[in-house]
Every structure is written in C-alpha cells, then in structure tokens.
Amino acid sequence: MNPLLEKFNTPFETAPFHLIKNEHFLPAVKKAIELAKEEITAIKSIALPDFENTIVALDRSGEKLNSISAIFFNLNSAETNVHIQTLAREISPLLTAHSNDILLDEALFSRIQQVYEQKSQLQLTEEQKTLLEKTYKAFVRNGARLDEKQKARLREIDKELSQLGLKFGENVLAETNKYELVIDNEDDLSGLPEAIKEAAAQTAEEKGKPGQCVFTLAFPSYLPFMTYAENRALRKELFTAYNTKASKGDALDNRAHIKNMLALKNERAKLLGYPRFADFVLEERMAKNAPAVMEFLHNLLDKAKPKAEKELEELTAFAKDLDGLEQLEKWDFAYYSEKLKKKKYEVDDELLRPYFKLENVIDGVFTTAEKLFGIRFIENKDIPKYHPDVTAYEVVDLEGKHLAVFYADFFPREGKRNGAWMTSYRGQKVMDGKDHRPHVSIVCNFTKPTKSKPSLLTFNEVTTLFHEFGHALHGMLANGNYESLSGTSVYWDFVELPSQIFENWCYEKDCLDLFAKHYETGAGIPVDLIQKIKNAANFQQGYQTVRQISFGLLDMAYHGTDPEKITDIHSFERKVMQNTQLLPEVKDTLMSTSFSHIFQGGYAAGYYSYKWAEVLDADAFELFLERGIFDKVTADSFKENVLSAGGKEHPSILYKRFRGREPRPEALLKRAGLLN
C-alpha cells in the first residue's frame, strides 16, 4: 500500500509523514498523473462546455497530484537528502510534462475559449469572473495558441528550466553545507558574545570536532560572526566564502546554469509573443510593465541614495575614530554598524536577545493574531510531522471552529535550505458544500537553543517570524470557493503585503508587552528599551533601501536584457550594480550564483515586489496607527478585504476597499526617514 495514494487517515487529513518513505513518491506521482489525466478526459467528454463542467471542473482536477507534489517539494526544501534530490530530478520533468499536456491540449482550450467568449452573457460573480479570466489567460500565456512545432519546443524549454532550477538550488545548499570556519584559538573568538561561542562549540560537537568552535554559512551562524568578531581577517574569510557560493569554477558553479536559464526564459517569452521574459511576467502584476517597475525603483533610489551615502560617511568616520580604519570594506559593515548603533541608540541585539525567547515570541505572534483576527492556536501532537523540530497546531476561531492546520519549523539543519519561507500542503476551497480548510507551514533558520540557554532571537529574527506568520495568516484565513484563487494565490507584488504589514507590530509597545519578557527573570521589556528599538528603526535605512533596490535592479536587468548580451555573469552583475555600490567591490565575489529568489524561487522579474509591497504595508499600517494597532473594525476590514479575499478580485480593488483610496508612497518614505 502506498500511503500517498490512500485517503489520509490522520487528524484533518494532514500529510501522513510517519508512513511516507522516499520510495513511495515516484510511483505515487505517476499514478496521480494517470488519475489527473482521467479527470481531464472526463471534462472533454461532456458535450456542451459551461462554467461548471469546464472551468470549475478543471480547477478541481488533479487534487491528489497537487497534494503529493506539495509534500514532496516541501520536503525537498525543508528536509532533503541525496535520495530526494535524485527523485526531484526525475519527478520534476514528469510534472512539467503533465502541466504542458493540459495547457497545450487543443480540445480543452477550445472548451475554455467557448465559455470565455460567452462571459458577457453568463451571470457570474466577481470571483467566478476572475476564475474564468485567470484560466483562459493561463492557457494563452502558456502556449495554447502555438502551432505543434512551437508547442514541442515549449515543452522542451519547460522541462529544461525545471531541471536547471533544481540544480541551482542543490548547488547553493551543497556550498552552504560544505563550508566550515573552524576556530581553536580563543583569541580568534574575541568580541563574540558567550551565547554565540556556545552555539559554535555545539555546532563543532555535532560535526565531530569537540573542543573547537565551528561557524558555517547558515545565517544564524554567519551573521553573528560578521557582527561581533574582532578578527578582521576571519570576517573577510567568512564574508568571501558566503559571497562566492556556487561561483568557483567547479562542479557546483551556477554561472552556466544562470546563462542557460536566461536564454530559455527569453526564448519562451518570444515564442509566446513577448519581447523579453520581464514583459511576460509583468503583464500579470500590479506594476503591469518593466518601465513602471524601473521608474518605481529609480524614484526610490533617488531618495534613498543620498541618505545612504551620508550614513556611510558617518560609519567610515566612526570606524576611523574607533580603530584607525582607513578603508571600510564590506566585511566591516555589520561589525561597525552594530557598534555605531549601540553608541547612538544604546541598543544592540545582545541586549535585546534575553527578551526574545523563541517560545515567548511564538506566543506573542499567536496572541497578536487572536487580538486582531479572533483565532487561536492549539498544539496537536497527533498531527504527523516530518522532523522532530516541527510543531503542529490546530487553528480555531473563538467559538472553537476549525480553521486550519499550522506547522512551524524554526532551526537550521543540513537538509534545509537557508532563509525563511511560508508554504502550503493544502489550499482552501469549497467543494460539494464543504469548506476544505488549508494546511500551512512556515520554515525558518533561527538561533538554536544551547545546553545552557533556550533559543533567544535577535530582533531581526523576531521581525522575520512576524513576516512569515503574516504570509501564514493569508493562507490560514483564506475564504474562497476556488483553490487557485484562495490564500496567497494573488499577484506576486501583492503577496508581500500581509507579511510585511505584520512586521510593524514588532515595534509597538502594546504588542511587545504581550511577549517580550526576560527569559530568566520574567520581567517585561523596559519602556526605555522599546523606545530605543523605535528610535533605531530607521538606522541605516538609506543603505538597506539601496541594497534592496540593487537586487531588484539586478533581477530586472537579467530578465529584461537579451541574454546573448550577457557574456560574463560577473561583469554583468558588477555593471548593473555599479550605481548602487556604496562600498568597494570585493574581487571574485558574486551574489547572482546564490540569488535563489530569482533563479530557484518564483521571484524572477518580481524581486521589486518587496519594495512595492512596502509602499502598501506602510500606507495600510498608518490606518492602524490612526485608529489603534488592535482596532477591531480596521482588523476586520483587513481580514475581509485582504487576508480572506485571496485573489478573488484585482488587488488594487481589494486594497482600495480596505484603505478607502489608492496607496500613497509618503508613508513608506516617512517610515524609512527618506522624506526631506
């Protein structure tokens, strides 16, 4: 028996991780593809196409395949191994081919087109209109109108792209896992807080190097070393290792993969009638086109760069006064920034950490969600988990009605890629009168507990947890009829609004008072410390804004340029980022080869959306500030018009319904201290 193909006999039909073995995946995927094909054949066999028997039936099809794929690819990100990675290279092309079989099916498209052409006569709700529009566009934008020769080439391109994306991610993970900075001299640990040294000693023990300290390229290890280590040469060594991932000319080098991906994406776009891949992507975004994105990024850059340059002048002078440093380098930035922040605002991460015990922050996130949206989280030990680090919860409303399943996975390990993300194992939909509730997960890489201390988060990790939880709320509170329009199934430059707005609560006393308590004494975070956090919120915001813009511009350059003109990845990156380069370039470093957001994730021609959504989140949070951060009317409106609405309607309509007007950039500029 293959547990993936059976009905999940688990609480809330959650994934039966305890029964699944790696060898179950491939046969399950193949069988699920067969079942999905039978569903498509059944749709095509009905004589007269209409909205229900074609559009809705198609949206409902492939449920088992979607479920198996979600389990498999989430494991490949959060708990992978060589066997799973090998399977991914076999499964990914099967899924791509199956998707193309549907999207390039002439008979199926003919039915969709017939329904689409009758849309003005059909009595459809706004949600139904959106589903019809989205379905029709999905087929057109994926080659339904191409001739047979073009369709065959599109299939080849999609297969190659799926393989290249997997390989890119595998290389970054392998590079992250293989590097170790081993330290056995106590002097080389000078400046590092005791908790960081203890964590590094624990890592060394886990890696069979007792009595030493090991630092890795996992963020909770890398960042504290760059922030506190006095040994400048070792900071440089670690910085160089981090920023040369997958670019060393060996088997893990991603440069050729990048060039191949860009060429294939561009060819695909041209095949579909678009000048560049960016034009294809942005047609289905709030920004609409590349010139609008570039104007947006350059307007922000014009305001942020002068501030960033002043911040850098201040930091350079500070480093010179403190240590006689003549030239500030990239591996010095975090180190001296932390010292300057402490001097200016009398606050630093190590001062704050004791107030941010992970378990308390989780409680704080849950309490904030309860106060705003009337939901509660109950740990459920009967829900199967894919790793002992994971905690599973049932989410209920205040009357105890089931809303969602929520998984939380917080610590780094070798089978997990770097970063933080929200994902889903099951989307929300209403079918046969039953509301099928979602299964949502957040995956992070936070500071691990040690033998003497619990997991104590940096303030940045606190905001990351709130950010990913904002995405999770978008998934958990979904309230639509169709899975392809529910939860986070929205325009890519709108999807970051729920996550980014939720970060704002971390800076507010009324929220911090709920959970920021000293892990030893239980004392609440002092009022003056909260004020210091707020005062420091704009610290080096100019620099951070320019840095984010530089990534957005690089992404747009890659996906808006003729790939034949990109002969060398290193020189292309350097040229594009020249105008946003504030510190001296470091020879041989290359961020593109580990830029997973755009070459492995879904952010290609969409990285700008982080800044775009910041405009929305700052503008939206101003309403909460005006009325009170836990104001029920405002929270209910945000829940109804943003979190629960998913992609039922165009995001600009949903946003205006919540805010009462179009978004204005002034709130972001004010918050970031970029207004004159």
- Of the chain, the end-to-end C-alpha distance in Å amounts to 67
Please name each of the domains of the chain with its CATH number. 11-103+105-145 (1.20.1050.40), 179-242 (no CATH)
**Looking at residue 675, what is its pLDDT?**
83
pLDDT at residue 543 in the model: 98
Predicted pLDDT at 457: 96
Tell me whether strands 402-409 and 439-443 are parallel, antiparallel or unpaired: parallel
Determine whether 613 is exposed, middle or buried from the number of CB atoms within 10 Å of its CB (0-12, 13-18, 19+).
buried
450: DSSP letter: -
Beta-carbon contacts of residue 526 (< 8 Å; ≥ 6 apart): none
CA 443 to chain centre: 10
Q: Please state, in angstroms and rounded to a whole number, the distance separating the CA atoms of residues 406 and 278.
A: 34
Amino acid at position 15, single letter: A
Identify whether 468 is a catalytic site residue: yes
Phi and psi, residue 406, nearest 5°:
-130, 125
Q: Which two tokens stand for residue 639?
A: 């829940």
Q: What is the pLDDT of residue 601?
A: 87
- Residue 272, SS3 per DSSP: coil
Catalytic residue among 79, 468, 496, 508: 468
What's the CA gap between 282 and 270, in Å, rounded?
14
Residues facing 213 on adjacent strands: 183
Q: In what order do the strands lie in the sheet with 391-397?
A: 375-379, 391-397, 402-409, 439-443, 421-426
Across the chain, which distance is largest between two alpha carbons, in Å?
82
Strand 434-436 to 439-443 pairing: unpaired
Nearest Cα neighbor of 646 from 430, 434, 433 is 430
pLDDT, residue 201, reads 97
For residue range 275-303, what is the model confidence (pLDDT) as tens digits? 999 999 999 999 999 999 999 999 999 99
Structure tokens at 320: 């010179």
Q: Which residues of the chain have pLDDT under 50?
A: none
Which pLDDT score is estimated for 618?
97
Q: Find the length of the chain.
A: 676
CA 469 to chain centre: 11
Q: Nearest 10 degrees: CA dihedral of 417, 423, 426, 430? A: -170
> Under DSSP, is residue 563 helix (H, G, I), strand (E, B) or coil?
helix
